[in-house]
Structure 1
């Protein structure tokens, strides 16, 4: 056998072997990517399928990494590209919840659109967990960049928020804007909210200011004094985290 023919066979075998490894990459590798780029706040378990086309249960983790809660079942499809090294389409119940592109600048997310219940977000709520909150959450974002440079705005709508500690429910509906470029958080309330909540802060420190509708002050007096510090103007202040 000529040397070039022998080397060709070895090369063909090596390419076939490597291709087989790539094609059959396990689904758990998806969890590694999500965990890294979410700064250890998201992960997946119960993976099925492959790295290229699979499904798993998405979970949220608190800052300590010791507590986690199921968020939703997600499906993914991955394609390779040139400028965008990896494209990932995430869906749940046949609806796209996000498109992800891994580029030289980091992870780009677009078309983020998902709905959850408020109790599923307990790993991210800090001191607010003591309020035993309930309600509906809708998260949207047009375009986000997570890498050395962070960019984009995440908009969270909290509808019909209630508290297991409150004698009046729901207490209101709220909007939370999260600016990745500054890690800033801004909170505002819908006009008809029983408890008007506002606040400006960051992921490191957020103080909430709240006011109660005049006709509900008496009923909510105990609840408000338990959850916040009374201020001279009749409002209450609470440190979220």
Structure 2
């Protein structure tokens, strides 16, 4: 065997070995990337399949940033690109929930479309978790960028929210807007909510200003004084976190 043949064989073996490593990259690498680019807020567990085509339990850190909790089971398919180094389509229950890409600008999310229940989000509700809340949650965002500069707005709708300790249910429907650039949170409520809520805060500090429909004040007096501080104008302040 000539020297050239030996070199070619070594190169072929090396390429095959590297190719095998790339093809069979483990699924947990997806969670590692999510953990890094979400600033340690998102990760995965119970991974199956491969880096390119797999599934896992989506995990997110709670409001204290100390404990990860399960959100939902997700699947993904990944492909490589040029301007976008990696492109990923995430699905859950055979429904597309987000497109994610990695580029020089950072991690980009588009077409975010999630349907959850309030109890799934309980670990992130801070002091409100003691209210035993229930209801439907819809999360959407057209375009988000996570990197050196965060850009985009996340819209969260909470519909028909109820409380296991409230004598009146449901208590209302609410909208949250999370601005990634300013780390701000704006909260509003539908006009027919029994408990009306407004707030402007941040992801580190949020206090709700709450009012009660006139014909429900007596029934909800004990509930409201337990959850918030009464104000001179008849409203209540509820500190979330």
Corresponding residue for residue 230 of structure 1: 230
| Structure 2 runs not aligned, ≥5 long | none
C-alpha deviation, 1:66, in angstroms = 4.9
1:24 aligns with 2:24: yes
**Counterpart Cα distance in 1 of 2:13 and 2:160:** 61
Partner of 1:170: 170
Structural mapping, 1:8-19, within 5 Å: 8-19=8-19
Cα shift readout 1:195-231 (whole Å, capped 9, x = no counterpart): 0001000011111100000000000000110111111
Secondary structure class of the residue paired with 2:102: strand
After TM superposition, the score normalised by the length of structure 2 is: 0.97
Distance of 2:67 and 2:222 partners within structure 1:
30
Structure 2 counterpart SS, 1:193: coil
Question: Counterparts in 2 of 1:114-193, with a 5 A limit?
Answer: 114-193=114-193
Structure 1 residue 64 displacement after superposition: 4.7
C-alpha displacement at 1:3, in angstroms? Answer: 2.1
Structure 1 residue 40, shift from structure 2 partner? 2.3
Root-mean-square deviation (Å): 1.2
TM-score, with normalisation over the residues of structure 1? Answer: 0.97
Q: Secondary structure at the match of 2:17?
A: helix
Counterpart for residue 78 of structure 2: 78
Structure 1 residues 166 and 63 mapped into 2: Cα distance closer, same or farther (>3 Å)?
Answer: closer
Q: Secondary structure at the match of 1:233?
A: coil
CA distance in 2, matches of 1:174, 1:83: 38
Answer yes or no: is the 8 Å Cα contact 2:63–2:125 preserved in 1.
Answer: no
Q: Which residue of structure 2 aligns with residue 56 of structure 1?
A: 56
**What is the distance in 2 between the residues matched to 1:216 and 1:237?**
18
Q: Is the 8 A contact 1:41 1:63 kept in 2?
A: no
**CA distance change for structure 1 residues 146 and 165 in 2, over 3 Å: closer, same or farther?**
same
Matched residue pairs, number?
241
* Cα distance, 1:39 vs structure 2: 2.4
Structure 2 residue aligned with 1:204: 204
Give yes or no for contact 1:199–1:207 (8 Å, CA) kept in 2.
Answer: yes
CA distance in 2, matches of 1:4, 1:60: 53
Please list every run of at least 4 consecutive aligned residues from structure 1 whose deviation after the TM superposition is greater than 6 angstroms: none
Cα distance, 1:132 vs. partner? Answer: 1.4
Quote how far apart the aligned CAs of 1:4 are.
2.2
Q: Distance in 2 between matches of 1:39 and 1:169?
A: 37
**What stretches of structure 1 of length at least 5 have no aligned partner?**
none
